[in-house]
């Protein structure tokens, strides 16, 4: 089974129909489902995706429910993952993006992201962009 780590922007785009990347995210999640891809999000990125919905309890519950219905499981970083994420900042990405990259590295997974900086950083660490987004 293929594993794909999700960057925050992909989850936000899937949940928000007004997001410019929503159609691409919707198509990617359809591909994930059709190929049986296991979806993982680092708890740091999970929290980041919930920042806007957390403003209202009903929106927060809806977002949490939507992520669960998409079959996304969380992965909690340990100290070693946190150190790796901190080192990934040198690739020109945010700390949260560093956690997504570190999670993909530790799980030997592909990574799904719309962020150009993250996509460039993947080359430097030998990771692949998810085929569901490479169109």
Q: Is residue 134 predicted with pLDDT exceeding 80?
A: no
Residue 133 lies in a domain: no
Residue 1 lies in a domain: no
With a CB cutoff of 8 Å and minimum separation 6, the contacts of 95 are 44, 85, 86, 89
Query: Which range marks the domain in which residue 47 is found?
Result: 6-125
CATH code for the domain in which residue 88 is found = 3.40.50.1010
Q: Is residue 33 predicted with pLDDT exceeding 80?
A: yes
Residue 12's pLDDT band, with cuts at 50, 70 and 90, is very high
Residue 134 lies in a domain: no
83-129 tens-digit pLDDT? 999 999 999 999 999 999 999 999 999 999 999 999 999 988 999 99
Residue 47 lies in a domain: yes
Residue 132 lies in a domain: no
Please give the full DSSP string across 52-92, using - where no structure is assigned: TGGGSHHHHHHHHHHHHHTTEEEE---HHHHHHHHHHGGGT
Mean pLDDT of 31-42: 97
Count of domains in the chain?
1
Residue 96 lies in a domain: yes
Residue 89 lies in a domain: yes
């Amino acid at each position: 089974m293929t594993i794909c780590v999700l960057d925050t922007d992909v989850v936000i785009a899937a949940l928000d129909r007004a997001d410019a990347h929503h159609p691409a995210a919707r198509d990617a999640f359809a591909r994930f489902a059709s190929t049986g891809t296991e979806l993982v999000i680092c708890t740091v990125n999970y929290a980041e995706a919930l920042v806007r919905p957390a403003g209202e309890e009903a929106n927060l519950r809806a977002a949490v429910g939507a992520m669960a219905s998409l079959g996304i499981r969380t992965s909690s970083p340990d100290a070693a993952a946190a150190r790796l994420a901190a080192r990934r900042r040198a690739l020109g990405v945010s700390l949260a993006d560093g956690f997504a990259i570190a999670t993909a590295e530790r799980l030997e997974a592909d990574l799904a992201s719309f962020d150009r900086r993250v996509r460039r950083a993947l080359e430097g660490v030998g990771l692949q962009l998810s085929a569901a987004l490479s169109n």
